[in-house]
Amino acid sequence: MLATDAKAPNDDAWAEALAAAAGAAFRATAAMFFDADDVIMGCCGAARDDAAMRAALQAAAARARASALGAAIFDAPQGRVMAVAADGDALAVLRVHSAFTRSETTAAAAMLAAFARVERKISRIDEALNASRREFALSAHLAQFGIWSYDIASEQLTWSEELFGLFDIDQMEQICWERTQNCIHPTMRQKLVDAVERLSTKGEPFDLELLVNSGAANEKWIRMFGDTEWRDAQVFRTFGFAQDITDEKMLRDDFALLASRDYLTEIANRAAFTNRFQDIINQTNFEKFGVALFIIDVDNFKTINDSFGHDIGDRILREVSEVLLSAVGAHDVVGRLGGDEFGVVTLFPSDGSAAPTAERIRTLARRAPTLRTVNGGVTLSIGYTEISDVGSSFKHALKEADLALYEAKRGGRDQACKYNEAFGAAYSEREETLQAVDKALRAEQFEPFYQAKICLKTGKIAGFEALARWRCPDRGVLTPGAFWHAICDPRRSTRISETIIEQVIEDVARIKDLGLDPGAVALNLTEKQLVANHFVEDFVACLQHAGLEPSNFEVEVTEAVLLAQNVEAIKSNLEGLAKSGVAISFDDFGTGFASLTHLRTFPIDIIKIDKSFVTDIETNREGLAICNALIQMAHDLNMRVVAEGVETARGVAVLKECKCDYAQGYYFARPCPIDEAIEALRADAATLSATDAENVA
């Protein structure tokens, strides 16, 4: 069987048949190819387009489409035998060799149709694969993405063109694993060697970030991935990719730095500081070294920040961080834990102490230009704990350092204090007290006790000071000394004060209803109350609701309150109280460094001379001189004076000689419940009536 017009079959031949089926000039395959086993390989040739041929072809095509084989034969003009294969609208025509039977010709045509369909699919797949390869190559080039492959049997390593570029190697150079490893920075080379070994022997994939050993000025980082291909339960090929991740790593490093740095001081933030503390604990040889955790607080920072502005405040915080960095070693850790609180982790010899570091911090702080000059000098309070056990946690160490810091502040600030176990006991006591006070507030166990204030001219009760007492079911009546921790806590002290004020208003209303004159009852307010926006309006409204006049009350403030952070809000509220008719008294006068300034700044009506000046006034010449001077100054400023802590008749006589207005102390009366205070007022009123009667007689 001889083929004519031999030509390898391709998709173009089928395309011509498609074109013919669409009505174009008819060109169709007209011969078949066979291999040595008489298997049809293809067909070629051409047929003339004439009316007779077209009619015969159309009839045969209809039969072919209806046939299960998709093919049919027909007698063409001029005695030729032809076959047609149909695939939808596409047709292929072939001329049959005279030795073929009609059934053989039909089968051959069907095989031709199937063959052509497969050829078309393969051609399209090849084209798609080639396009995909081109796109992948372009993507790899744009992404700086290189591919490698290693044949285990031949020990042949192959690199893509991009991989040569990643490692800055000439493409003509012979590549092997040793050469690849030498491309990696020495500090990371062994990591790659071990990963490749495990990949080849155990089939363990790897995914590494490696620093390239490049001569370039800038670092280059790559991500290198490796995997395996198995055959017969053995690794026969390894492959993978490498990609330039320099920009990505720099970006990640920048983000990591931002996430671990304090934005203002550029030292470690709290999270990073905590992690570094634990790293140091885990890595320290405690036979040779101890670890110290310092907590450093800027004294009165809020007041300084509010008074001098945030720019100065920020400058102070930055300078504190510089002081701390200068005071410790390069391997120690300095961090800002929040606000004006800083932390330091440092090592010290196991036979030594961390105290020199604390002193070095304080010395450098005194020399720092901003800290030295702002507000007469900014000071630091320092609490620290020494750790000698690898099992210590940051939470536990921080608690100890915080307790030491609390003691440093309680001792007057501007000092360093080392933790000892007694602080822990004090902390436990404080927590127990606070919990007990919370319970007592819920049970309404707080009430006011009243200490009389005596007019030294008449000897009569001129008013009272309302003092908080805790009527504890187990311990009896407790003074503030028993719950001092709650007094120092802003939230709890305010709740106690509010409770006392509510009861005082009720008690004063009761006294008035009995026809007695309570005089002016002094109330102790907290800083939180005095900075509240609507405190004056709310307080006056409560008095009006109870039918009381503001003149029945005084508000006592201490210098600690007047030195508080929101001084303008406090001043505004005190002025509002004064305008409403409430008297303002300055408690513990003479014990602070700025008392005279406060007399000019705030609407003070009364000053209360601290009992430290009044005690032994009859024998203490210095105390007498101070009291005399304070009384004279107050009178010159149109202020009244109350002497606190009066306990002897001689002391009363001396105060009268000094022309003091009022006195308060155990000599006259101890603090008492409301019922006893009412009885005292009744007795006072009865004495006054008797005196008036004698005068009339």
State residue 462's pLDDT score: 95
Can you name the residues that pair with 217 across neighbouring β-strands? Answer: none
- The strand ranges marked E within 195-304 are 206-211, 221-231, 234-244, 289-298
DSSP state string for 337-376 = EETTEEEEEEEEETTS-SHHHHHHHHHHHHH-HHHHHGGG
pLDDT for 114 equals 63
Q: Please check whether residue 456 is in contact with residue 660, taking contact to mean a CB–CB distance below 8 angstroms.
A: yes
In this prediction, the residues of the chain whose per-residue pLDDT falls under 50 are 1-48, 696-697
Of the candidates 606, 350, 342, 266, the one whose C-alpha atom is nearest the C-alpha of residue 453 is 606
> How far apart are the C-alpha atoms of 504 and 498, rounded to whole Å?
10
Residue 536 CA to residue 558 CA, distance in Å, equals 18
Taking Cα atoms as reference points, which of 560, 595, 601, 554 lies closest to residue 578?
554
Q: What is the pLDDT of residue 567?
A: 79
User: What confidence score (pLDDT) does residue 377 get?
Assistant: 86
Q: Which residues pair with 520 in a beta bridge?
A: 463
Euclidean distance between CA atoms 461 and 668, whole angstroms: 10
pLDDT attached to residue 303:
79
The amino acid that residue 451 corresponds to is Q
Counting Cβ atoms within 10 Å, is residue 227 exposed (0-12), middle (13-18) or buried (19+)? middle
- HSE (side-chain half, CA atoms, 13 Å) at 166: 30
Residue 40, both tokens: 């049809």
pLDDT confidence of residue 215: 59
Relative to beta strand 640-644, strand 662-664 is parallel
Q: What pLDDT digit, counting tens, does each position of 585-609 carry?
A: 998 776 655 557 778 888 999 999 8
pLDDT tens-digit profile of 469-516?
999 999 999 999 999 889 888 899 999 999 999 999 999 999 999 999
What does 608-645 look like in DSSP terms, one character per residue?
EE-HHHHTTTTT-HHHHHHHHHHHHHHHHTT-EEEEE-
What is the C-alpha separation between 557 and 573, in angstroms, rounded? 12
CB-based burial label for 190 (10 Å; 0-12, 13-18, 19+): exposed
pLDDT attached to residue 123: 67
Site of tokens 């230009």: 369
DSSP-based three-state secondary structure for 49: coil
What are all long-range contacts of 579-582, with beta carbons under 8 Å and residues at least 24 apart?
580/536, 580/540, 580/550, 581/549, 581/550, 581/551, 582/539, 582/550, 582/551, 582/553, 582/554, 582/555
Structure tokens at 643: 């002497």
Instruction: Identify the CA nearest to 204 among candidates 226, 224, 233.
Output: 226
Burial (CB count <10 Å: 0-12, 13-18, 19+), residue 291: buried
8 A C-beta contact, residue 496 and residue 486: yes
Q: What is the pTM of this model?
A: 0.54
